[in-house]
Chain A
Amino acid sequence: MVKILHLHNPEIGKHFEGIRSSLTGADQAWLGAVREEAMTRFTNTGIPGPKVEEWKYTNLGFLANENFAVGTKADQTSEIKAFYDAAYLADIAGPVVVFVNGHIYPALSSYPDEEGVEFSVFSENTSAFRDTLESSDQASSLNDLNRAMVTDGYRLDIAAGVQVRQPIQIIHIVTSATDMKLIPVRSQVTASKGAKARIIETFIGAENERYWGHMISETTLHDAADISLIQFQLQGKQAIHMTELHTTVAEKANFSHMSLQLGAEISRTELINSFTGEYAHIDLRGAYLGRVKQSHDIYTRINHDQPNCQSNQLYRGVLDEGGKSAFQGKVVVARDAQKTNADQSNKNLLLSRKAEANAKPELLIYADDVKCSHGATVGEMDANQLFYLRSRGLDEVAAKGLLVEAFVAEVFDDMDDEILRDAFKAKAAGWLSREERA
């Protein structure tokens, strides 16, 4: 009995052969070689099947039978503007970079322009990405697929000591079209010593379109850097959304990631983090709300390779009719990583008989002087709380809405930026009020 671990889709390779000459940077030999090599690796390995432990809760079997075409440049339409308006946080003035179908969209973009901030776009400057594209250690097979097909992306370098004044907004839009599109983009963020920045990334796309958004992010924090990355996932309800973030955090640096998963039929967020210096801090938090065929999968890994570091994880899930979720959080404390402090909390609220929540919080600990804990719960709404609100005159829908809101609010309640906090609240509330209609 040999287990089938990976699935193969020969159409992807064929498509690659067909379009490789028109891919971004096709005239550059090094890039062609990178793409070729990555495609070969992907073809050999294939798409991870449900027998691969990390993919236990998200079955990608269907990908083996679907045909994809890499997203192409879009013309200016009112649809794009509408998505832009929905995603853009106008209250946060500042630079905004827009990608449409995986290609930079200059008409709505204004790049960061600040002393000590270097910003470049892949399609305009492929060589800025050469180093990361050429290093392929530990690349997953889907990372290889992304590498082979990548159409666009951004690179942000912040010089030592520079504190970027305004948050940088990145908006990824997918327009409606008839064919199944693959949107492979990448980002690379480097914060030098003491640099500080906040990036707000929003993914939004056509409601009734099947597309596969795939993003790889590589973030490097040098000593005492401070990066905050916020991701709103508002993809269309038939979309497949995958992000894979690799982050390294050096001495006394501070990395925080906050996400809100509302859209997509299948979403997968992978956060792979490592400490490269002592006294650093990683904070991961997020909320995922799912219903009707939706499946959210959060996979986190924190490698405590250094002593005296701290990591916190806080995830809340709300699953309604047909919604499904998985939280897989792994904390690995290496032998020498004494005085590690790691905690993890995952709570799930099931609102319907057809909802499903899975949790797999893992602790692998090889050092003794550590404080590590995790907690996970799954349950329905507290009947007493509901009764209390009803007795105060709230109708059932309002009472439930309030409780769900309070449940999710824990994730972003102590956020320092009021505008962002309100944006989180408004977006979550939007999802909740849609529920009222149903």
Chain B
Amino acid sequence: MVATKEAQQTVEEVSGEYKYGFVTEIETEKAPKGLNEDVIRFISAKKKEPEWLLAWRLKAYAKWLTMEEPTWAMVDYPKIDFQDIYYYAAPKSAEDGPKSLEDVDPELLRTYEKLGISLKEQEVLSGVAVDIVFDSVSVATTFRKKLKEAGIIFCSISEAAHDYPEMMKKYLGSVVPVADNYYSALNSAVFTDGTFVYIPKGVRCPMELSTYFRINEANTGQFERTIIIADEGSYVSYLEGCTAPQRDENQLHAAVVELVTHDDAEIKYSTVQNWYPGDKDGKGGIYNFVTKRGACRGKNSKISWTQVETGSAITWKYPSCLLIGDNSVGEFYSVAITNNYQQADTGTKMIHIGKNTSSTIISKGISAGKSQATYRGLVKVLPGAENARNFTQCDSLLIGDLCGAHTVPYIEIKNPTAQVEHEATTSKISDEQLFYCLQRGLEVEDAVALIVNGFCKDVMQNLPMEFAVEAQKLLGISLEGSVG
């Protein structure tokens, strides 16, 4: 018992400080505070958007005005004043549009260096193409040329609106309808940037695509929109990482991600979310209200979500799969770590529509401090989904006696050929495990780190190599202290 108390203390001590809490001083251009039709017109004009997109935004805004903030999630926060947020902030230097890394503001590059994602380094060494979103504008897109040779489109969503309007019209809002929920409607009205990816037929994307999100300007919401389309027989692995500087106020982040796979295509979407979680007393931190959904439209297609959620004061996020095509596969692997006053309500939805569809859900929640972690998931098998298979495993680990871990699964089955299994457990780090490690000569924090890593193994091993290292580092920061 003493040992766990110590471990808990270590955990609290370590995770109190946010390693990425620095502010980049760059002049930014903001839209006036608040939200109204004029702000939306301002954003649209800034982005030099076509008329149809502005109309689409305004329609979404009108819809949003009629909607109510959802309250069903197990998160508790003061009401958000949507008129107290800047909906557009762009680094001034972006006005001219940097063409290459050399053109990018060196201050920016230093920021990323601190995060450990030096573009240069990555360009040269790791072979990862990075589309960086700095606040709202995509400032540098690397490896574009190389991807273009393979016929792959990898650009910011504003560019896509100019260059590929037909595809944008076809796919924007096709997986997450505008009125899907409160935050998706808000995002549809004010989204400022994001990434657009198209993988043509039969192409296996030669590298892992990655976007590094960062919220920098105080009081700005970040509303990106990501669309990834994998055409017949193609494959892409997409990485998304997020960090935000330390601020006393809460910041809002409401993104929408839409994935589409056609016949035999596969998208692997990995997220490491490390937004600022607020300080020890629960002050500040990001409100993360994200709608992520993938549609397996084609036969034998596959969408796999892997997420490591360590940050944000509040997380409200349910990456889902619509398994429409026959034999399609959906996967959800998640590690959610909450500490101090963090609250996470996260999970997935697997909707089985086509025949022989299968889904796997592995969710690992770790709560420490005074945090609350909830898994909320839905597995739905519609009458036409013959031979659907689902396996769900949700495990929660509690560190300390002031935190909470909750599991709220929904299982709705309308076809007898379905095989659906759900298992969940909640426990603390067992005294036996800890004792075993200690008597082998490990320090308490090492032992906790080892056990937690083992607890998350099923999920961590699904991360791409490029991310596994960073995720493990983050686990270390959140839980293990200097040891990790």
- Indicate whether A and B interact: yes
Question: Which residue of B is nearest A333, CB measured?
Answer: B426
What is the bound-complex CA distance between A379 and B418, given in angstroms?
5
Residues A356 and B404 in contact, CB atoms below 8 Å apart: no
Contacts of B409 in A (CB 8 A): 359-362, 376
B415 at the interface (CB under 8 A from A): yes
Which among A1, A361, A368, A376 is the interface contact of B400 at CB below 8 angstroms?
Answer: A368
A280 at the interface (CB under 8 A from B): no
Q: Tell me the count of chain A residues lying within 8 A, CB to CB, of chain B.
A: 35
B428 at the interface (CB under 8 A from A): yes
A15 at the interface (CB under 8 A from B): no
A352 at the interface (CB under 8 A from B): yes
Nearest chain B CB to A254's CB is how many angstroms away? 24
Residues A355 and B406 in contact, CB atoms below 8 Å apart: no
Residues B406 and A370 in contact, CB atoms below 8 Å apart: no
A235 at the interface (CB under 8 A from B): no
Which among B404, B413, B425 is the interface contact of A348 at CB below 8 angstroms?
Answer: B413
Which among B406, B413, B415 is the interface contact of A358 at CB below 8 angstroms?
Answer: B413
Question: For chain B residues 394-453, which have a beta carbon within 8 Å of chain A?
Answer: 396, 398-428
A364-B428 contact given A375-B422, A380-B417, CB 8 Å threshold:
no
Bitwise, A343-362 to B at CB < 8 A (1) or not (0) is 00000101111011111111
B77 at the interface (CB under 8 A from A): no
Question: For chain A residues 322-374, which have a beta carbon within 8 Å of chain B?
Answer: 335, 338, 348, 350-353, 355-374
B76 at the interface (CB under 8 A from A): no
Bitwise, A398-432 to B at CB < 8 A (1) or not (0) is 00000000000000000000000000000000000
Classify chain B's interface size.
35 or more
Contacts of B400 in A (CB 8 A): 368
Residues A353 and B416 in contact, CB atoms below 8 Å apart: yes
B16 at the interface (CB under 8 A from A): no
Contacts of B98 in A (CB 8 A): none
Question: Which residue of B is nearest A359, CB measured?
Answer: B411
Which among A373, A376, A379 is the interface contact of B426 at CB below 8 angstroms?
Answer: A373
Contacts of B414 in A (CB 8 A): 355-356
Residues B413 and A356 in contact, CB atoms below 8 Å apart: yes
A379-B420 contact given A362-B406, A372-B427, CB 8 Å threshold:
yes
A132 at the interface (CB under 8 A from B): no
B108 at the interface (CB under 8 A from A): no
Residues B405 and A365 in contact, CB atoms below 8 Å apart: yes
Residues A1 and B416 in contact, CB atoms below 8 Å apart: no
B68 at the interface (CB under 8 A from A): yes
Question: Which residue of A is nearest B4, CB measured?
Answer: A368
B83 at the interface (CB under 8 A from A): no
Which among A367, A375, A377 is the interface contact of B401 at CB below 8 angstroms?
Answer: A367
Residues A363 and B413 in contact, CB atoms below 8 Å apart: no
Which among B404, B410, B420 is the interface contact of A366 at CB below 8 angstroms?
Answer: B404
Residues B407 and A374 in contact, CB atoms below 8 Å apart: yes
Contacts of B411 in A (CB 8 A): 357-360, 376, 378
B67 at the interface (CB under 8 A from A): yes
Which among A350, A351, A372, A376 is the interface contact of B418 at CB below 8 angstroms?
Answer: A350
Contacts of A376 in B (CB 8 A): 409, 411, 420-422
Which among A1, A353, A365, A367 is the interface contact of B415 at CB below 8 angstroms?
Answer: A353
B66 at the interface (CB under 8 A from A): yes
What is the bound-complex CA distance between A124 and B419, given in angstroms?
53
Question: Which residue of B is nearest A328, CB measured?
Answer: B410
Question: Which residue of B is nearest A355, CB measured?
Answer: B416
A66 at the interface (CB under 8 A from B): no
Residues A375 and B399 in contact, CB atoms below 8 Å apart: no
Residues A377 and B420 in contact, CB atoms below 8 Å apart: yes
Contacts of A338 in B (CB 8 A): 401
8 A-B pairs with CB atoms under 8 Å apart are: A1-B68, A350-B416, A358-B411, A360-B411, A364-B404, A364-B406, A365-B398, A372-B426
A-B contacts besides A352-B416, A358-B411, A363-B406, 9 pairs, CB < 8 Å? A1-B67, A335-B402, A350-B418, A351-B416, A353-B415, A364-B406, A365-B398, A377-B422, A379-B416
The 9 A-B residue pairs with the shortest CB-CB distance in the complex, in nearest-first order: A350-B416, A368-B398, A359-B411, A378-B413, A363-B407, A379-B419, A376-B422, A380-B416, A372-B426
